[in-house]
Amino acid sequence: MNQVLCCGIAAVSLLLSACSFEYHARSPEDYRQATRALLESKQSDFTSCYEGVIKSTPDARGTVAVSFEVEEKTGKILTPKSLPESTAPEALQTCVVNGLSGLALDPPDQRKGLATMTFDFNRG
């Protein structure tokens, strides 16, 4: 049986803007960790998608680099998109982008976050 290595987050960068409301206020490192944990919660969905892609394209592999915003006050992931440096097949890129829609940090943060993450997909 094929081993799937999925969702290895290679890079995280969050740019925070300050606001002062009555919401959670994470440090930049806490914000990165919370965002990473949120995305890792989708690992099984991304693995399933990858397994579907390799059924039709057995040698499919690569990375999916995505960018998105984390809305202040709600924690919702907004405007996820695949970046040009992605090397995985288009179907896998679409699956990852769609999988990010609807996610939200809980509790939300008073700061807006801008993030880029890279997911690695390889058959082992």
Q: How far, in Å, CA of 119 to CA of 80, rounded?
A: 14
Tell me what pLDDT residue 10 has: 35
Supply the pTM of this predicted model.
0.76
Tell me what pLDDT residue 87 has: 97
Tell me what pLDDT residue 124 has: 58
Question: For domain 11-123, which architecture applies?
Answer: 2-Layer Sandwich (3.30)
DSSP string over the chain? ---EE---------EEE---SSSB---HHHHHHHHHHHHHTTHHHHHHHHHHHHHH-TT--EEEEEEEEE-TTT-BEEEEEE-TT--S-HHHHHHHHHHHTT-B-SS-BSSEEEEEEEEEEEE-
Query: pLDDT (tens digit, 9 = 90+) per residue, 34-74?
Result: 999 999 999 999 999 999 999 998 989 999 999 999 999 89
